[in-house]
Amino acid sequence: MFVSTFVFTSVHSEASNDVNYSNDVIYQIVTDRFYDGNPENNPNGDIFSENCSNLHKYCGGDWQGIIEKINDGYLTDMGVTAIWISQPVENVYALHPSGYTSYHGYWARDYKKTNPFFGSLSDFDRLIDTAHSNGIKIIMDFTPNHSSPALETDPSYAENGAVYNNGTLLATYSNDPNNFFHHNGGTDFSSYEDSIYRNLYDLADYNLNNEVLDQYLKESIKLWLDRGVDGIRVDAVKHMSQGWQESLMSEIYSHRPVFTFGEWFLGKGEISQQNHYFANESGMSLLDFRYGQTITEVLKDGTANWYDFNKMIQNTAENYDEVIDQVTFIDNHDMSRFSDEGSPNRYTDMALAVLLTSRGVPTIYYGTEQYLTGSKDPNNRKQMENFNISTNSYKIISQLAQVRKSNPAVGYGDTQERWINSDVYIYERQFGNNIVLTAVNSGTSPQNITNLSTALPGGTYRDELNHILDGNSISVTQDGSVESFQLSPKGVAVWQFNGPSTTPMIGHVGPMTGKAGNPITISGEGFGSSEGTVQFGSTNASILSWSETEIQVRVPDVTAGKYDITVSNAKGTISNKYHEFEIVTGNQIAIRFGVNNAYTEPDENVYIVGNVSELGNWDPDKAIGPMFNQVAYEYPTWYYDISVPASKEIEYKFIKKDSSGNVVWESGSNHVYTTPAQGTDTIIANWQ
Ligand code: NOJ
Ligand code: NOJ
Ligand code: CA
Ligand code: CA
């Protein structure tokens, strides 16, 4: 029985589990390009392109269009269980001097209003209700990094970055006495700091240390959550301080927890420690660009092979604490589409089959199932031309979405390479006794597969893709060896076994962080129908609901820090451990800490460490930094925006660390600072 004892302020229907997307398939829609369900709301004049011949302009797609495509079964029959829509908020109306418009939704003007070209608030409510009654979650894009294009010196450029609070002007870029924006020029992407505190292209970059703006953005996202939004995709997370974003996540998770993932773009071959740190510590997941780039290299560019892919799978499993929560894809609106004119659609089909059976939450970019092409923005954002439900891609998505839904090995399992050469990859996903085995041959000759082992129990297994990609059945002996078979050229087969556990097994915990009292959902199987206990470390959590596969609890009131979670069923059988759930000290706010006169040797950087877990509990290895010293303040002043508990007396010190880990502490007594109850602040000390 599902008993929800905590009260949501939402006025609209809820989809089932908003913090666990492991069994879902996300479909990413550029709202303007999907389907025009209401020509009445299309823009007039020069920002509209009647037949979508100018891809920089609005083409008419809207929420009514999405509603119609839910109602006619196009999305549900494809197996889509979540839709990521363009940012729904009001955007600029101006035509950009280069002929661009805000059809993509990334140029916000007023976060408390809707983009009228997508629909009214009641259209939005109908979209939410239609989605929910069809088992679909709605994820909204959100851009708290910037407003819109602006030039410091030319107020007539676009809309001068103007941002409004429900109709009241807050600031423009060239008239900004209260510092809503950074005025540090555009970033050259040369460092993390430069990317955060300077403009991304010509986009007016927010000063998130401004308390009116901080409150406005947090209030705004809560309004959308209250309308029933089930997930958030945060734009440009590499361009905002992690500290502010942690305070945002704390606000969201204390208000109404939903799965949140950020966009941290990585190019081909790019691996970033900061990206891993962000995914592990910020409270939100990330779009898995490393996955997307690698599968592109293997199946589209031919510049990498399955050994590289397998290495990526193994490395990311180590780099990301919650690899199953990272959001995977084969292409998106900022990359070349996977399908190419002139090259066979078969590679898109194979890539989708791999995507949907891999770890991570898969996202299908709209139109991939129709083999839309286009290598660069805006050609990779063409309008949907047809909604053909008999393409191979459509059928593959539909088949494998079912497997994802019914077999927890896909959502929760780890990945084991079972057979590999440069053309062939056979990998097994396993969660308890649930198994999904996938074989792909990207080469143009058949491959003899001998000596393949599997955890599948003895028996014969049919291809879950129904031979759409020329897959075969396999026979497995009692000892787990697969009888030799031929894997077809450009063939993919998927075999599965459902073996539900009778003892508790945790597959997923969400959100991955929270303060005492926040609701947390634990998913898995074998929990039993009668209530047992859930422990954070050695403390029992109070239970809100309990079922065979899903438990809701409240984060217990214990000292902040990282705690392993276990579930015991009613008979006392204990589950596997979910590692290091992070309990934060309380409501979080973002504070700018700084230190003057901190002179360092080459190879030394300044960090901050203090008496709360957010400041590393005096452990120099967990000190926050390296702090910055180039843009907002300059060396020998160092600064960093950090999420810390509100209304709390904090003690801290600055330290110098070099790359070998040598630590120099400040002398004197600890700095002491009481954080405000809400808002933001800046506190600058002198190095002592
Ligand atoms: C990343 C988005 O995906 C991209 O399309 C957008 O232009 C930039 N962020 C700026 O919002
Ligand atoms: C840890 C102590 O708790 C703190 O008070 C002190 O300032 C530093 N170590 C440096 O000695
Ligand atoms: Ca329209
Ligand atoms: Ca920024």
pLDDT of 1 above 80? no
Q: Which of the 8 DSSP states describes residue 601?
A: -
What is the predicted pLDDT for the residue at 15?
46
pLDDT of 61 above 80? yes
On whether residue 178 sits in a domain, the answer given is yes
Quote the ligand 1 centre to 281 CA distance (angstroms).
23
Same domain, 550 and 476: no
Of all residues in the chain, what percent carry a pLDDT higher than 70?
Answer: 98
Q: Which two tokens stand for residue 509?
A: 């915990």
Q: How confident is the model at residue 3 (pLDDT cuts 50, 70, 90)?
A: very low
- pLDDT tens-digit profile of 197-239? 999 999 999 999 999 999 999 999 999 999 999 999 999 999 9
Q: Which of 96, 100, 141, 235 has most ligand 1 atoms within 8 Å of CB, for mutation?
A: 235
On whether residue 14 sits in a domain, the answer given is no
Ligand 2: atom nearest CA of 666 is 10
What is the predicted pLDDT for the residue at 6?
39
Q: How confident is the model at residue 657 (pLDDT cuts 50, 70, 90)?
A: very high
> For the chain, what is the domain count?
4
On whether residue 17 sits in a domain, the answer given is no
CB 296 within 8 A of CB 330: yes
CB 24 within 8 A of CB 328: no
Closest ligand relative to 59 C-alpha: 3
pLDDT of 653 above 90? yes
Q: Which of 665, 671, 672, 688 has most ligand 2 atoms within 8 Å of CB, for mutation?
A: 665
Is the distance from the beta carbon of residue 653 to the nearest atom of ligand 2 less than 6 Å?
A: yes
Same domain, 435 and 396: no
What is the predicted pLDDT for the residue at 342?
84
Torsions phi, psi for 231 (to 5 deg): -165, 160
Q: Which helix (H) or strand (E) holds 651?
A: strand 649-658
Quote the ligand 1 centre to 106 CA distance (angstroms).
6
The mean pLDDT of 375-404, rounded to a whole number, is 97
Spatial distance between the Cα atoms of 40 and 416, rounded to a whole number of angstroms: 53
Nearest CA owner, ligand 2 atom 1: 618
Ligand 1: atom nearest CA of 201 is 10
Same domain, 196 and 115: yes
pLDDT of 344 above 80? yes
> In this structure, are strands 327-329 and 285-286 parallel, antiparallel, or unpaired?
unpaired
The mean pLDDT of 257-265, rounded to a whole number, is 98
Quote the ligand 4 centre to 193 CA distance (angstroms).
9
On whether residue 162 sits in a domain, the answer given is yes
Nearest CA owner, ligand 1 atom 2: 235
Same domain, 243 and 179: yes
Quote the ligand 2 centre to 618 CA distance (angstroms).
7
Same domain, 379 and 519: no
Q: Which residues pair with 539 in a beta bridge?
A: 536
What is the predicted pLDDT for the residue at 12?
44
Spatial distance between the Cα atoms of 62 and 54, rounded to a whole number of angstroms: 18
Q: What angle do CA 12, 15, 21 make, to 5 degrees?
A: 140
User: Which pairs with CB-CB distance under 8 Å and at least 24 residues apart come from 671-674?
Assistant: 673/649, 674/647, 674/648, 674/649, 674/650
Q: How confident is the model at residue 617 (pLDDT cuts 50, 70, 90)?
A: very high
Amino acid, single-letter form, for residue 415: T
Quote the ligand 2 centre to 668 CA distance (angstroms).
10
Q: Of the residues 406, 434, 467, which one is the last residue of a structural domain?
A: 406
Spatial distance between the Cα atoms of 237 and 297, rounded to a whole number of angstroms: 25
Domain of 653: which CATH number? 2.60.40.10
Spatial distance between the Cα atoms of 564 and 587, rounded to a whole number of angstroms: 22
Domain of 300: which CATH number? 3.20.20.80
On whether residue 10 sits in a domain, the answer given is no
Nearest CA owner, ligand 1 atom 11: 106
Nearest CA owner, ligand 1 atom 7: 106
Residues with Cβ–ion distance below 5 A, ligand 4: 145, 205, 239
On whether residue 123 sits in a domain, the answer given is yes
Task: Say if residue 507 is exposed, middle or buried (CB neighbours under 10 Å; 0-12, 13-18, 19+).
Answer: buried
Task: Say if residue 573 is exposed, middle or buried (CB neighbours under 10 Å; 0-12, 13-18, 19+).
Answer: middle
What is the predicted pLDDT for the residue at 8?
40
The mean pLDDT of 618-625, rounded to a whole number, is 97
Domain of 487: which CATH number? 2.60.40.1180
Quote the ligand 2 centre to 610 CA distance (angstroms).
8
On whether residue 43 sits in a domain, the answer given is yes
Q: Which two tokens stand for residue 322?
A: 């919650």
Nearest CA owner, ligand 2 atom 7: 670
- What mean pLDDT, rounded, does the chain reach? 96
Q: Which residues pair with 514 in a beta bridge?
A: 583
Closest ligand relative to 365 C-alpha: 1
Residues of the domain holding 468: 411-497
Nearest CA owner, ligand 2 atom 10: 665
Quote the ligand 2 centre to 667 CA distance (angstroms).
9
Nearest to 25 by CA among 360, 313, 311: 360
Spatial distance between the Cα atoms of 133 and 129, rounded to a whole number of angstroms: 6
- pLDDT tens-digit profile of 119-177? 999 999 999 999 999 999 999 999 999 999 999 999 999 999 999 999 999 999 999 99
Ligand 2: atom nearest CA of 651 is 5
The mean pLDDT of 515-532, rounded to a whole number, is 97
Same domain, 575 and 604: no
Same domain, 229 and 293: yes
pLDDT of 347 above 70? yes
What is the predicted pLDDT for the residue at 652?
98
On whether residue 1 sits in a domain, the answer given is no
Same domain, 465 and 519: no
Same domain, 208 and 345: yes
Residues annotated as part of the active site? 235, 263
Ligand 2: atom nearest CA of 618 is 1
Q: Using a 6 Å CB cutoff, which residues line ligand 1?
A: 104, 106, 143, 235-236, 263, 333-334
Helices (H) and strands (E) in the chain, counts: 13, 40
Q: Of the residues 538, 564, 583, which one is the last residue of a structural domain?
A: 583
Same domain, 161 and 223: yes
Ligand 2: atom nearest CA of 611 is 3
> In this structure, are strands 505-510 and 519-525 parallel, antiparallel, or unpaired?
antiparallel
Q: Which of 670, 671, 688 has most ligand 2 atoms within 8 Å of CB, for mutation?
A: 670
Q: How confident is the model at residue 659 (pLDDT cuts 50, 70, 90)?
A: very high
CB 159 within 8 A of CB 204: no
Same domain, 371 and 430: no
Same domain, 189 and 59: yes
> In this structure, are strands 561-568 and 550-554 parallel, antiparallel, or unpaired?
unpaired
Q: Of the residues 583, 615, 638, which one is the last residue of a structural domain?
A: 583
Closest ligand relative to 32 C-alpha: 3
Nearest CA owner, ligand 2 atom 3: 618
What is the predicted pLDDT for the residue at 343?
85
Torsions phi, psi for 202 (to 5 deg): -100, 20
Query: Three-class SS string for 601-635?
Result: CCCEEEEEEECCHHHHHHCHHHCECCCECCCCCCC
pLDDT of 444 above 90? yes
Quote the ligand 2 centre to 612 CA distance (angstroms).
13
Spatial distance between the Cα atoms of 605 and 192, rounded to a whole number of angstroms: 15
Ligand 2: atom nearest CA of 669 is 7
Torsions phi, psi for 590 (to 5 deg): -100, 120
Quote the ligand 1 centre to 265 CA distance (angstroms).
10
What is the predicted pLDDT for the residue at 5?
38
Q: Which of 334, 336, 376, 381 has most ligand 1 atoms within 8 Å of CB, for mutation?
A: 334
pLDDT of 11 above 70? no
Q: CA 609 → CA 342, 619, 655, distances in Å? A: 57, 7, 7
Spatial distance between the Cα atoms of 343 and 107, rounded to a whole number of angstroms: 35
Ligand 1: atom nearest CA of 145 is 11
Q: Which two tokens stand for residue 210?
A: 């401004």
